[in-house]
Amino acid sequence: MKRLPLPRPLIESLVTISIGLVAGALLMLLFDYNPVQAYRALFVGAFGSLEDILETLAFATPLMLTALTFAVGVRGGLFNIGAEGQMYLGAIGATFVAGLLPLPPGLHLAAATAAGMLFGALWAVPPALLKAWRGVHEVISTIMCNWIAFYLATYLAINFLAEPGRAERTAPALVTARYPVLTEDASLTAAIFVALAFCLVVYLYLWGTRAGYELRLAGENPDAARYAGVKGGKVILLSFAIGGLAAGLAGATQIIGRPPAWSLYATLGNVITLGFDGIGVALVGRNHPIGGVLAAVLFGALAHGGRFMEYHAGVLSELVRAINGLIVITLAVPELWMLARRRFSR
């Protein structure tokens, strides 16, 4: 019986993650730690029980969405790194509706989710228009918008949305605007099903519709896309709009779908860096909506299980982050190489 060959991306991922684990082990040996004990603590912490698996998925939920923001941009030939700022505004939108506007159950949850997505999409409009109308590079404009969003969200959280008597956070989401918690022993809520459904919808859009095909064609072969009559401005606006919706939903899930706070910290501590982490997730997932979901689970395992490396193996938290970074870098190398080769070939 003839054996089916393994897909090349799977082989590359297995090889790169092995290299990353070996590099992390060498780093731990350099500081006199036991790599076997540390990696065992990492795995058991991430997948050792049902509660740990659910907590890993809770960490993964926003990352699969911010990864989608970057992945859709790359599919359209763009480097949209504005998920961070779009996520801040999504969190603000969800906080406003969930914490300050009492509505009936069901409707309240839907309205808070929609507000987060809408705020994220609106914040993606300025860099999209700058790119489509004036040719401003999206990396520059999205970085600027990220910083503007950070200070704007902080200002709104402290001066307009703060909980009375609690300056460190905003008003918590009302009970009617919270996603149901799946188990009391983990912070995973039903928000993960919304995130997975959104990723699936985007996948079907990109690979099952004419507009999605035009978006991918514009990213893979701009000359062929222009020859086929694909409108570049339309592709740019669609890419940014989808990315903004995804990032805004990611911000909303951290407010109305992540206990115990159910609110936005004044420092934005419960959403900060998730947008930038999504870039690494997208690269590891080969800029594919489904691949991003699987990569997000890996990142969630590193985030949740990494804490056990410190608790049970004694590895310093700074070194844990360095080891996780090594693993992520090695996993992202194949996709980075492919993107660089495609860009230079143009």
- Residue 20: per-residue pLDDT: 85
305-317: burial string, b at 16+ Cβ within 10 Å, e else? bbbbbbeebebee
* Spatial CA neighbour of 89 closest among 164, 171, 154, 168: 154
- What residue ranges define each of the domains in the chain, with the CATH number in brackets? 8-345 (1.10.3470)
- Residue 339: per-residue pLDDT: 73
DSSP letter string, 178-192: SPPBS-TTS--BTHH
Backbone angles phi, psi at 211, to 5 degrees: -60, -40
Angle between helix 191-208 and 232-256 (nearest 10) = 170
Q: What is the DSSP letter of 169?
A: E
- Residue 318: per-residue pLDDT: 85
- Residue 342: per-residue pLDDT: 67
CB-count burial class (<10 Å; 0-12, 13-18, 19+) for 1: exposed
Over the chain (346 residues), what is each successive 10-residue block's mean pLDDT?
Answer: 56 79 90 92 93 96 97 94 97 97 96 98 97 94 97 96 90 97 94 98 96 93 88 94 98 96 94 94 92 94 90 85 85 77 66
204-215: burial string, b at 16+ Cβ within 10 Å, e else? ebbeeeeebbbb
